[in-house]
Amino acid sequence: MSSPQPSSARQILAGRKLVVACVLVVAAAACAAYLSVGGRTGAPAASLIGGPFTLTTGDGGTVTDADMKGEPFLVFFGYTHCPDVCPATLAEISDVLAKMPAKPIKALFITVDPERDTPAIMKDYVSNFDPRIVGLTGDRAAIDKVERAYRVYARKAPQDNGDYTMDHSAIVYLMDSKGRFVEAFNLDRKPEESAKELERRL
């Protein structure tokens, strides 16, 4: 199965706005619930999202939460068989990063489907996007741990042909230089506007 090209992903995104909107509304509602403190929705509770992880890169190395500290970074959870939301979101992240070519900021693409997303497959998949997007996988225990840390919703959705897709939340997390959650990063604006927001935090 060939990996979606960024241009195709953008075309997919244009035709699937209602689907993406529904996913983001559900994900945002879940995120808001986790950010409620003492009944005050929206009160910062950065400690509730993010935490330690050790995951595998496409080259077989490891990336930990400690490795990411020092600069803000983005995190997005998805999977390589995703038909629309994942490639479209990665294409949008690539557009933002393209507006800040000299900046050190990175984006992590963490699979929710480690049974199929091997390091080699993740490496091939993210090669279609900005090189600062790092594809990460791991065994099921490692993925479960990072999903819990980031409060990610993900589950298998079996299909009639015996295959499956993955239902999952679609938040792009903006983490600060200390690995603390800042906000659900807004990609629903011009790439240069999102880039300016990231540069402001560098």
Per-residue burial over 2-41, b = 16 or more CB atoms within 10 Å of its CB, e = otherwise:
eebebeebeebbeebeebbeebbeebeeebeeebeeeeee
Domains in the chain, please, with CATH? 6-201 (3.40.30.10)
- What's the CA gap between 69 and 176, in Å, rounded? 8
| Average confidence (pLDDT) over 75-100 | 96
CA distance 176 to 73: 7
Q: Average the pLDDT over 190-202 and give the result.
A: 90
Per-residue pLDDT of 23-71, as tens digits, reads 444 444 444 444 433 333 443 455 689 999 999 999 999 999 999 999 9
DSSP assignment of 15-57: HTHHHHHHHHHHHHHHHHHHT-BTTBTT---GGGS----EEE-
Three-state DSSP class for 135? strand
pTM over 0.85: no
Spatial CB neighbours of 40, under 8 Å, sequence gap ≥ 6: none
The alpha-helical segments, DSSP class H, found in 35-157 are 85-98, 119-126, 140-149
Tokens of 68: 């990411």
User: What's the pLDDT tens digit per position in 1-16?
Assistant: 444 444 444 444 444 4
Mean pLDDT, the chain, rounded, equals 83
| Per-residue pLDDT reduced to its tens digit, 147-181 | 999 999 999 999 999 899 999 999 999 999 999 99
